[in-house]
Structures are given as structure tokens and as C-alpha cells.
Amino acid sequence: MIRLTMAMIGAFLALNCGFAALIEWSDVASHPIDVQTRAVLDARLSSFFGKTDSAAPRAVFLGDSVVFGSKLQNTHGDRWKWLTLPAQHAALTGDETLNLGINGVLFSDLDCVAREALAHGPELLVVNVSPRPFAADFADADNTSARSFLCEAMDVTERVGRWIPLLAYRDVWQFRWLESSPKQFLVDALAARIQPTDPFEEDEEGEDSIDLDEIIWKTKASNRLNSVELSDDHPQSAHLDKLLGTLASHRSTDVVVLYLEEDTRALSDQLDIERYRVQQQRFVARLSRIAARTANITFVHAKNSDFEGLYDDHVHLTADGYTRLARILRDVPQSRNLGDAID
């Protein structure tokens, strides 16, 4: 019995060592992975800051899909991860750069992720924000977080799991290759196979279908931006202040707060552009004031007029657009702590 127990323990240790070596060899944790569990966040931070083979400055990028680069997946296939804003920043500067973009992230989520990242002491932290959280969708006090698990304290099991490679990197491996949990992957695959087909549906989608999809997303995007209201009473206001306070409290890390303007021209038919411009100005003024009085924060306001023809939709840039934005960020240290660096 003792021999069997020892053999099982030995096999478990060997399996963990082998899995840890596989993770390091594949460098899977460096690939952009949408953070859908706390384990993914912990594993990616640990892997990034655990590297000892480079003396290059470490830069961490936080934000939503603009940082993550999700639209690039649709247009550039497997090459997309090299075309994201963090990847292009790394190519231009030589920094070791971590892409911690999270699709749909809100201010409260960003604050929790920023705290985790800053605890590791990066030389540079770039945080992408926008007025989007001030939309009516997120005005409910119960709807101020997109991924609340990011702010939850870890239980004992999760703490112990950090030290066991099979547990620490399980989610990273799954979401890297399956883009979901195995259970959800199987459910989606099964649904795709048994989904009934319409006998009258054409083999290829026609122009009418494409036009309808465009109308739908423009309507949804316009309705959201039309409801944006920059006010101190909005629940997101306190979360933004908390995030900025967190960034300001870590004076040893240079922080760039980035706002890439939406391409409102793409929504001009349904968006009240003049009203939204007022909300933008309030948002920009608020961040500019914070940066002007905080030594380690620089606010970069990237205007849509500087990226004409470089938007993929009203929010995301093309690969060339991210190249231009990466160059702007590369030059920021020359004008640090001057408030709105690009104005």
C-alpha cells in the first residue's frame, strides 16, 4: 500500500514537472488569452514576471478589445497576435510586453487587474479606457462589473493551485487552444452539428444578410453611445476614480492612460454626434486633470482624425492603425506628465 501510494505521488510529481516544462517550452501563457477565469490571470502574470532570461523593461497593457485585438483574429488569422497594439509596441521598443486585454472589461474590473499587475512592479503600465462604461447599460449599481471574479478573494483551493502546474496552467491551456472550457467546447460543437438547416437558405449569405448585420451592429453601437452620460452620479464614476487612484499610488511605475476615440463617422446616421462630443470632452477633461497633477500618469488622447481610414469598425483599428498608435505610445516618454500628450 505504501509503495502504491509513493508510486502515485511520484507519478503525480512527474506529470506536473512534465506539464510545467511543456508550458515553458510552448510559451502558451504569452499568447493573448481572453481572461475568463481568475486562474488565467494569475498564470499569465506569474509566467510573464517569472521570466529571468531577459533584462528588457517589462510593460503591461490593460484594457478591452482594443488592447486584446479581437477584431484582428477575423482579418488576419493566426498572425493576429503579432499585430495587436501590445505586440507592435514590443516590436518598436524592445520591451517585454504582456497583453492583458479583456473583452468588455469595465472600470471596476480594470482596477482589480491593475492592482495585480502593479504588485509585480512593471516599468510601464498602459491602460486603455473609454466613455463606454458611462452608457445606460452599466448605470445599474448591480451591473458595474463585467467579470466580477477578477475582484474576488481567492479561496484556499485556488491559493494551493498556484503551486501545482496542472491546476495553475490548466485554464490557460484550455482557453488558448479551445477558446472555452472543454464542456462548453463540446456543447458548441454538438450544437453546430445538430442545428437544423433552412431548406430555403442559400448556400452563401447574400448582400441583404450582410447589410442587415451591419444595420444591427450600428444600431446597437449608436444606442449605447447615445446613452453615455458623464456625471458624478453615474455608478461608473466612482469606479473610474478608484482605478485612477490605484494607478497614481504606484509612483515607481510609469502609467499611460490611453483613450482612442471612436470613429463616430461610421455611426453618423444614428448617433447624435454633437451630444456625444460633449460627453467625450468631459471624459477627456477629467483624465487630463488627473494626469496633470499626478507625476507618474500621462494621458494620451488619440483622436479619430489622426486615424482616418484606419478603423476596422467604430472602435477597433486595422493592423496599420495599431502600428500608428504604437508609434504614438513609443514617443510618449518624451512628453511625460504633461497631461494630454496628443492633442
CATH code for the domain of 55: 3.40.50.1110
Domain assignment present for residue 10? The answer is no
Quote the CA–CA distance of 140 and 307 in Å, as a whole number: 34
Which one, of 257, 227, 225, lies nearest residue 241 by Cα? 257
What is the residue range of 181's domain? 22-192+233-262+284-335
What are the cell numbers at 97? 510586453
Asked if 228 and 234 touch (Cβ cutoff 8 Å), the reply is: no
- Indicate if the pLDDT at residue 268 is higher than 80: no
Domain assignment present for residue 13? The answer is no
Burial classification of residue 311, based on how many CB atoms lie within 10 Å of its CB (0-12 exposed, 13-18 middle, 19 or more buried): buried
Least confident stretch, 20-34, 36-50, 87-101, 133-147: 20-34
Domain assignment present for residue 220? The answer is no
The more confident residue out of 139 and 88 is 88
300: left (phi over 0), alpha (psi -120 to 50) or beta: beta
Domain assignment present for residue 271? The answer is no
Least confident stretch, 24-33, 248-257, 281-290: 24-33
Q: Within a 13 Å sphere around the CA of 46, how many CA atoms are in the beta-carbon half?
A: 17
Q: What is the pLDDT of residue 50?
A: 83
Least confident stretch, 86-95, 145-154, 156-165, 323-332: 156-165
Q: What is the pLDDT of residue 165?
A: 63
Domain assignment present for residue 150? The answer is yes
Asked if 313 and 267 touch (Cβ cutoff 8 Å), the reply is: no
Q: What is the pLDDT of residue 267?
A: 84
How many other CB atoms are there within 10 angstroms of residue 255's CB atom?
A: 25
Domain assignment present for residue 102? The answer is yes
Quick one: average pLDDT of 256-275?
Answer: 91
The more confident residue out of 140 and 258 is 258
Domain assignment present for residue 296? The answer is yes
Q: What is the pLDDT of residue 164?
A: 66
- Indicate if the pLDDT at residue 198 is higher than 60: no
- Indicate if the pLDDT at residue 117 is higher than 90: yes
Domain assignment present for residue 180? The answer is yes
Q: What is the pLDDT of residue 322?
A: 97
Burial classification of residue 191, based on how many CB atoms lie within 10 Å of its CB (0-12 exposed, 13-18 middle, 19 or more buried): exposed
Q: What is the pLDDT of residue 69?
A: 92
Amino acid at 115: R
Secondary structure of the chain in the HEC alphabet?
CHHHHHHHHHHHHHHHHHHHHHHHHHCHHHCCCCCCCHHHHHHHHHHHHCCCCCCCCEEEEEECHHHHCHHHHHHHHHHHHHCCHHHHHHHHHCCEEEEEECCCCCHHHHHHHHHHHHCCCCCEEEEECCCHHHCHHHCCHHHCCCCHHHHCCCCHHHHHHCCCHHHHCHHHHHHHHCCCCHHHHHHHHHHHHHCCCCCCCCCCCCHHHHHHHHHHHHHHHHHHHHCCCCCCCCHHHHHHHHHHHHHHHCCCCEEEEEEECCCHHHHCCCCCHHHHHHHHHHHHHHHHHHHHCCCCEEEEEECHHHHCCCECCCCCECHHHHHHHHHHHHCHHHHCCCCECCC
Quote the CA–CA distance of 97 and 330 in Å, as a whole number: 13
Q: What's the domain count of the chain?
A: 1
Quote the CA–CA distance of 181 and 173 in Å, as a whole number: 10
Amino acid at 8: M
- Indicate if the pLDDT at residue 183 is higher than 70: no
Dihedral over Cα of 12, 18, 19, 21: its sign: positive
Q: What is the pLDDT of residue 210?
A: 54
The more confident residue out of 283 and 178 is 283
- pLDDT, tens digit (0-9, with 9 covering 90-100), for 29-76: 677 888 888 888 888 898 888 877 778 899 999 999 999 998 898 888
For the entire predicted model, the pTM comes to 0.85
What are the cell numbers at 329? 505610445
- Indicate if the pLDDT at residue 23 is higher than 80: no
Quote the CA–CA distance of 264 and 253 in Å, as a whole number: 33
